[in-house]
């Protein structure tokens, strides 16, 4: 299934994209795409529906973030060996973990703001994991049972804030609009192997990133189990799993974003994002 949320920012409604690409309204069935809806039982109830009997949504409404009420937005750094190399860093002996503020979350086609004072705004296409069941100290063999599905993520970054200034990475990763998720949450039954997905990103029509999740250092199941050792994962939590090479920081010479550019990115089967960069709004 492809689950999504549509409508004005802050007033999104739950929806489902049927096999013919028609957006169907789910607001008469579930309150939103989050919480209990993401459990195995909640998703099973949605699978029993006949999409043709759900109301079709007219027009072309804004598509919002595909998950509501995200509690934690957890990111993994340097999880592709060739990306680590392009940034001048070694492959970490354990996953690098940092948090992105949930206020950074936006829709898959919303504008991407360039922060005030930014000089190194950057892009990162990533596979996103959406947790569907509480996970605490779980073994790797059971990790995927705790996943509701997957989505496309752009881990927006400002490298000067992230690395040139003192402190941790979070402040370079958390500006408003630096966390678009979606367009859809694709349930895990429709993604038989999350370690075989192509992903790409282009800026103004030039493709800079083109990779595959098979080259991740730490795979999906490992990451879910690993993270559950340090924090309890709850339904609706999101894990951004790292990016392949081709980010602006790694180009020779480096290239960074400015207002007026268009970013397009996609993870295979999980939908495409399309953002126009804009100067920061108050």
Q: Tell me the mean pLDDT per 10 residues along the chain, length 282.
A: 98 98 98 97 97 97 98 96 79 93 98 96 98 98 98 97 86 97 98 97 98 96 98 98 95 96 98 96 68
CA-based radius of gyration for the chain: 18
* DSSP 8-class letter at 85: H
- What are the residues facing 106 on neighbouring strands? 180
Q: Which domains does the chain have, with CATH numbers?
A: 2-53 (no CATH), 73-279 (3.90.850.10)
- Which residues, including other chains, have CB under 8 Å from residue 94's CB and lie 6 or more apart? 226
Give the pLDDT of residue 87. Answer: 78
CA atoms within 13 A on the CB side of 222: 10
Give the pLDDT of residue 21. Answer: 97
- Rounded Cα–Cα distance for residues 196 and 96 (Å): 22
The separation between CA 119 and the C-alpha centre of its own chain, rounded to angstroms, equals 24
Q: Which helix (H) or strand (E) holds 238?
A: strand 238-240
Relative to beta strand 238-240, strand 73-77 is: parallel
CA atoms within 13 A on the CB side of 187: 19
Residue among 242, 225, 248 at smallest CA distance from 75:
242
Give the pLDDT of residue 123. Answer: 98
């Amino acid at each position: 299934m492809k689950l999504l949320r549509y409508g004005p920012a802050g007033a999104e409604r739950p929806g489902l994209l049927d096999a013919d690409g028609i957006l169907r309204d789910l607001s008469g069935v579930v309150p939103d795409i989050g919480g209990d809806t993401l459990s195995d039982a909640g998703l099973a109830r949605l699978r029993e529906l006949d999409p043709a009997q759900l109301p079709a949504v007219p027009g072309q409404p804004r598509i919002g973030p595909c998950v509501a009420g995200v509690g934690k937005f957890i990111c993994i750094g340097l999880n592709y060996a060739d990306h680590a190399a392009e940034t001048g860093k070694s492959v970490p002996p354990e996953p690098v973990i940092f948090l992105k503020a949930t206020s950074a979350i936006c829709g898959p086609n919303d504008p991407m703001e360039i922060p005030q004072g930014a000089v190194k705004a950057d892009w990162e296409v990533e596979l996103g994991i959406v947790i569907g069941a509480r996970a605490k100290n779980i073994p790797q063999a059971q990790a995927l049972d705790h996943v509701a599905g997957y989505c496309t993520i752009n881990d927006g970054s400002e490298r000067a804030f992230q690395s040139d200034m003192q402190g941790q990475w979070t402040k370079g990763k958390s500006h408003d609009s630096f966390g678009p998720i979606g367009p859809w949450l694709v349930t895990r039954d429709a993604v038989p192997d999350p370690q075989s997905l192509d992903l790409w990103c282009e800026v103004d029509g030039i493709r800079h990133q083109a990779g595959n999740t098979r080259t991740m250092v730490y795979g999906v199941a490992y990451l879910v189990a690993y993270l559950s050792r340090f924090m309890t994962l709850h339904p609706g939590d999101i894990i951004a799993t790292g990016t392949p090479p081709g980010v602006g920081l790694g180009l020779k010479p480096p290239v960074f974003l400015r207002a007026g550019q268009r970013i397009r990115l996609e993870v295979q089967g999980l939908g495409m994002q399309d953002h126009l960069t804009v100067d920061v709004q108050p």
